[in-house]
Amino acid sequence: MSLHQRVERAQRGDDTAVPVVPAERPVPPKATLSPTRAALLADIRSRVQGEVIGAFQSLVEASNPAEVRTRIVAIVERIITEHAFTVTREERMGLVEEIVHEIAGFGPIEPFLLDDTITEVMVNGPNNIYIERGGKIQRVDATFLNDEHVMRIIDRIIAPMGRHIDETSPRVDARLPDGSRVNAIIPPLSLVGPVITIRKFAAKPYTVEDLIRFGTATAEMFDFLHACVQARLNIFVSGGTGSGKTTTLNVISSFIPEDERIITVEDAAELQLRQEHVVTLESRPPNLEGAGEIAIRDLLRNALHMRPDRIIVGECRSGEALDMIQAMTTGQEGSISTGHANSSRDMLRRLETMILMSGYELPLRAIREQIASALDLIIHTARLKDGSRKIVNITEVYGIDDDEILTQDIFVFEQTDVRDGKVVGELRPTGIRPTFMGVFKANGIELPPGEFGIPAEDPDRPTPRGKGRWTAGVTAEAPGETRPLVGQGRAVTAGGMVYVSSVGPIDPETGQVMSAGIKEQTRQCLLNLKTRLEAAGSSLDKVVWANWSLRDLSELETFNEEWLRWFPGDSPVGQGTLMPQSHRRAGFRISIGVIAQA
């Protein structure tokens, strides 16, 4: 019987917790041993195991973790001396570490959990262990004895959390005492034996300065995100697996003021918030009888009764997305969550799909209206080919038009080259001002010089109109209604003809799109056309060709009635087309362009 089996038997007979013994230093990689040397170390290891089994009870009861290590060192030294074994200091310390890890740690993977340079540990069955370091995956020279050995380590990880794993429930999510996230899956679901995946957390949480130093984002981007969190914008952090979503969430959550009550909801608690007033809720899987499950949705609903200022959901995976969106629109503004997606646009589509998974039969239009109303900002993270992690997009969600959720990128990462295996690029503002810039001033948030690197508002290219809640209560100095960027009708004279591009139903006195039906909008378009043509030395009766774009083809007959009032008799030759997206977003139902004689 191996040491592992005997130790487990002894543990089943005693409920005393085994002290966790920290390693003195990370264990260096094992050197390749000759068969003779390997046999010698195996003999010593077997003798040490026998001694440790005899002293196991006293080791468990040792109050000082250092005392456990001291006793194991004494056993190893005595056996080596008694049998005159010739071993190096490194081999001797390696034997000590192996035994300590088996008694008080997580066996062969313990050295990798103690190494701060390793970010992921992956066990693919007993004979294949991989780590991630610097964004790159590599195989390591370490193994378990067999499948049972891996299972015992899994049980040791999940037992303190009251969770279980067996053939009837062959997968589990858990966490280590330091908060590192653990997933385990076993046969029959896994065909390679028990599999463990551990996402390690830094002993010291990353700060803004750390991420700037890593090149994850720029100081201007974090200044911008700091103001967004202070202004209580609702934020989703999206990205692929291992792209740094949780790290980014931890950093931006540090911008939440200390005087606010924060409720976090997670499958396995891993967020590292620094505020004092934080309540952490963790879901619970069903027990052996299949009862007692507490899902994320249940905790999220309960959180609404706990007087939260902000709600943070570690990750939305299914129907809880509906509850999260509802919370964002019912008083918990400033809430944050994460989700898996390949881009900011994909995150919106995934939210739609997750809401449909809630079990409620909601029209897609209603779902998109809820998302557009609730969500303000999407921070998209990515792991690049060189292993580096960056915030590649900060995208504003500023409204909905014609069943389309409207977005615009505020910051982007542009890759320009790859040098010596490293991705080269630039994190920069796009030159687009968010529609909510006025909200910062309305909330008393002082903007730094240069306003995060975002260009000043251009009178010739005004900011599009944003959400209704951003215009309510905004001071007079904040952006208000803006003139549409399309439908102005540029006139060009050439070859004895006047060409007028698409004219929209814009009231010339207010500069705003008419919120009227197709008949009134057609009349306004023709009035605007008349003004453009007369200014260019032509008139409506000289129009020889026209092009009209309709938002809805079912309104063609009503449009034609108004058209014939302006062009009785022989109407100009023309054609009708479906309206382009830019005109739809501006609120047009009709736009008209013409060619006329000069």
pLDDT in tens, 366-396: 899 899 999 999 999 999 988 889 999 999 9
Query: What pLDDT score does 409 carry?
Result: 93
Q: Is the pLDDT of residue 184 over 70?
A: yes
Does residue 179 or residue 460 have the better pLDDT?
A: 179
Is the pLDDT score of 87 beyond 80?
no
**pLDDT confidence of residue 6:** 45
User: 10 or 568: which carries more pLDDT confidence?
Assistant: 568
Same CATH fold assignment for domains 106-203 and 208-412: no
Measuring CA to CA, which residue among 151, 142, 67 is closest to residue 111?
A: 142
pLDDT at 454 over 80: no
pLDDT at 533: 92
pLDDT at 473 over 50: no
For range 108-135, the mean pLDDT = 91
Could you tell me if 214 and 224 are in contact, meaning their C-beta atoms sit under 8 angstroms apart? no
Greater confidence (303 vs 574) lies with 303
314 vs 16, more confident: 314
At the second CATH level, the architecture of 106-203 is 2-Layer Sandwich (3.30)
How confident is the prediction for the chain on average, in pLDDT?
Answer: 82
Q: What pLDDT sits at residue 293? A: 85
- pLDDT band per the 50, 70, 90 thresholds, residue 154: very high
Least confident of 269-283, 464-478, 524-538: 464-478
Pairing of strands 129-133, 195-199: unpaired
* CATH of the domain spanning 491-597, picked from 3.40.50.10090, 3.30.470.20, 3.40.980.10, 3.30.1330.40: 3.30.1330.40
Q: What angle do CA 397, 467, 321 make, to 5 degrees?
A: 50
pLDDT over 50 at 14, yes or no: no
What pLDDT score was predicted for residue 92? 76
The band of 457, judged by pLDDT with boundaries at 50, 70 and 90, is low
Mean pLDDT throughout 483-496?
81
Q: What is the pLDDT confidence band of residue 51, given thresholds at 50, 70 and 90?
A: low
Within 8 A by CB and 6+ apart from 16, the residues are 60, 61
* Predicted pLDDT of residue 410: 93
Alpha-carbon span 178 to 113, nearest angstrom: 10
Residue range 86-93: mean pLDDT, rounded: 77
Instruction: Write out the H or E segment, with its range, that includes residue 322.
Output: helix 320-328
* Winning range, highest mean pLDDT, from 170-179, 184-193, 279-288: 184-193
* Residue 403: pLDDT over 90: no
Strands 171-175 and 136-139: unpaired
Using 50, 70 and 90 to split pLDDT, how confident is the model at 160? confident
354 has a pLDDT exceeding 50 = yes
Average pLDDT estimate for 69-86: 77
pLDDT of 520 above 60:
yes
Q: What percent of the chain has pLDDT over 90?
A: 38
CB atoms within 10 A of CB 377: 25
Q: How far apart are CA 311 and CA 221, in angstroms?
A: 23
At 420 the pLDDT is 85
Model pLDDT, residue 367: 92
Instruction: Quote the pLDDT of residue 324.
Output: 92
Q: List, for residues 420-440, the tens digit of each pLDDT value.
A: 888 889 999 988 888 888 888
- pLDDT the model gives residue 489: 85
Give the per-residue pLDDT at 376.
94
* pLDDT exceeds 90 at position 488: no
Report if pTM > 0.75: no
Helix, strand, coil percent content, the chain, rounded in steps of 5: 35, 25, 40
Is the confidence at residue 412, as pLDDT, over 60?
Answer: yes
- Is CATH 1.10.287.130 what the domain over 208-412 is classified as, yes or no? no
- Strands 235-239, 336-340: pairing is parallel
| Token pair 């706990």: residue | 306
Q: Where are the domains of the chain?
A: 1-105, 106-203, 208-412, 491-597
Mean pLDDT on 517-529: 91
Q: Are 410 and 393 in contact (CB under 8 A)?
A: no
- Give the mean model confidence (pLDDT) for residues 482-488: 68
What percent of the chain is predicted at pLDDT more than 70?
Answer: 85
Q: With cut-offs at 50, 70 and 90, classify the pLDDT of residue 487.
A: confident
Indicate if the pLDDT at residue 269 is higher than 90. no
Lowest mean pLDDT among 47-61, 224-238, 548-562: 47-61
Q: Can you tell me whether residue 73 is helix, strand or coil?
A: helix
Mean pLDDT of 31-58: 65
The yes-or-no verdict on residue 416 having pLDDT over 80 is yes
CA–CA separation, 367 vs 360, rounded Å? 11
**Could you report how far apart the first and last alpha carbons of the chain are, in Å?**
102
Query: Is pLDDT above 50 for 2?
Result: no
pLDDT at residue number 94? 76
The model's confidence at residue 513, banded by pLDDT at 50, 70 and 90, is confident
The first and second tokens of residue 507, run together, are 């009231």
Q: Give pLDDT tens digits for 536-582.
A: 999 998 999 999 899 888 888 899 889 888 988 777 888 888 888 77
Residue 59's pLDDT band (boundaries 50, 70, 90)?
low
